[in-house]
Every structure is written in structure tokens, then in C-alpha cells.
Amino acid sequence: MTASEIVECALQEDVGTGDVTTELCVPPDRRATARFIVREAAVIAGVELFPLLYGSVERTVENGAVLEPGEEIARVRGSARLLLTRERVALNFLQHLCGIATLARKFVDAVAGTRCRILDTRKTTPGLRHLEKMAARAGGATNHRMGLFDAVLIKNNHITAAGGVRAALDATRNTSLPVEIEVRTHDELEEALACGAKALLLDNVTPATAKQWVREIAGRATVELSGGITLETARAYAETGADFISAGAITHSARAVDIHCRLELG
């Protein structure tokens, strides 16, 4: 779904037939300014949703900006009714997306100075992948494939179903899409390299094993590491010489950032 479609779906879910509280309590001609303010340090993502929610925006910071507690993400002026009715949806998006961007930046910072880049994954909230991957990018992560349609990633179950590493790789010879294959054992690693694999995924290996295998690969293929890699262990994995670390936690486990909306009349 596009960002516009996602916003429309969220508004329909929340507003439904109308915001009865606001319509009863707030005069229709009342004007106000809404200020969206962070209560904790955060990397910002999702500001492109403000025009979709409010039409016009007085001021916003850029995606990827780092704000300290008390700093303003955006300022919107308009109908007090509109500002109030869409406040919760705006905050839901901002808190979630800034959380992803903030966690992504922590992973990126954890591997700073190495050659390793941080990748996001497909472990996203159904319907929100477009926005969540945008947020990961705002935090400095590199987007992996968007879905099953734009790259070939042969995982362990594909290898089993295909009949082995060679069979799986042979079946992809004529595709124009990038091809990556997961290897689970040293024998699979050697077989994949013998078959000409150019991108390898090493999943759930220790840093010591990863370092040994990266040394054996010796640049013949790019190397992605994955499988339970945390902020605490990311540096050790990055120092193995791998090209990429993928971390599903960036999108599936990011904590929402504390953001509030301050309404001022006038």
C-alpha cells in the first residue's frame, strides 16, 4: 500500500462515522496550532505523513534528524477540530516510525568504523512495510528486498524443497534478479561457492565461525549475517569482515518513542 492509502485506512479505522467528542465540544470555527514534541532523544521518521493528514504543515524537521527532549518535530495550524480528530493517528505513526528509526541508528552506530552495513528485513507489520522500511532508512539502515518479488533469497527450507544447494542455485540461472543463498553448514558453504554463488547468508552462526567462513570466502561472494544479532553483539559480528548484518528487531521490536501533541489556541 502507498503512504496515502495507509493513512486513509488508519483514519477510517479511528474516526469511522465521526469524532463525536470533538464535534460536541469544539466550535467548528475555532483555530489552533498543534506542536508535536519529543519527550526523549529520537531519530525522526514519518514527517512526510503530515501533509497527508493535515493538508498543509507550518514546519517540520527532516527525516533522519536527531532531536533532544523538548524539541519540536512539526507544527501544524488549522481547524481545531481537524487537529484533534487526527491527533491520535498522527502520534501512532510518529511514535512507531521514530522508534524504528531510532533503533536502526543504534545498530548503525554499533558497527561504525567497520565495512559492515545494517539491513532491515521483511519482519514488518502487515500493511505497514512501506513506512517501516522508510523509517529504517531514515535511521541509516539499508533496505533489503521489499518483498518476495524483487530478489531471490534461497533459505534453508527452499534448499530442502529444491533438493539441495546445487539444485536450488541451478534453478535460478536465468533470472535477472539478484540471488542470495543461505548456507547452514561448512559443506553447504563450499558447495554454494563451487556453484558460483555471489551472495551468501550465514544464519545463526557464532562470530568466531562467521570470521572463519568470511576468511575462506575471501571476497568471492558478499556475506550477510543474521539470526538473533543484538545491539550488544552487532559489533563482534561486524568485525568478522561481513558485508551486511540483517536485524529483524529493527522493525518488529522497536520501542515507540515518547512524543506528545501540544494544542494551542489561535
Which residues are marked as active site?
A: 88, 123, 155, 182, 203
Per the structure block, which three cell numbers stand in for 219? 571476497
Nearest 5 degrees, angle CA 134-CA 8-CA 140? 10
Give the CA count within 13 Å in the CB-facing half-sphere of 120: 32
Angle, helices 186-194 vs 207-217, to 10°: value is 20
Per the structure block, which three cell numbers stand in for 7? 493513512
At 115, the amino acid letter reads R
Per the structure block, which three cell numbers stand in for 187? 559443506
**Residue 265 burial class via C-beta count within 10 angstroms: exposed 0-12, middle 13-18, buried 19 and up:** exposed
DSSP 146-171: SSTTS-EEE-HHHHHHHTSHHHHHHT
Per the structure block, which three cell numbers stand in for 174? 536465468
Q: How far is CA 34 from the centre of its chain?
A: 27
Per the structure block, which three cell numbers stand in for 80? 481545531
Q: State the distance between the two ends of the chain, measured CA to CA, in whole angstroms.
A: 36
DSSP 181-194: EEE-SHHHHHHHHH
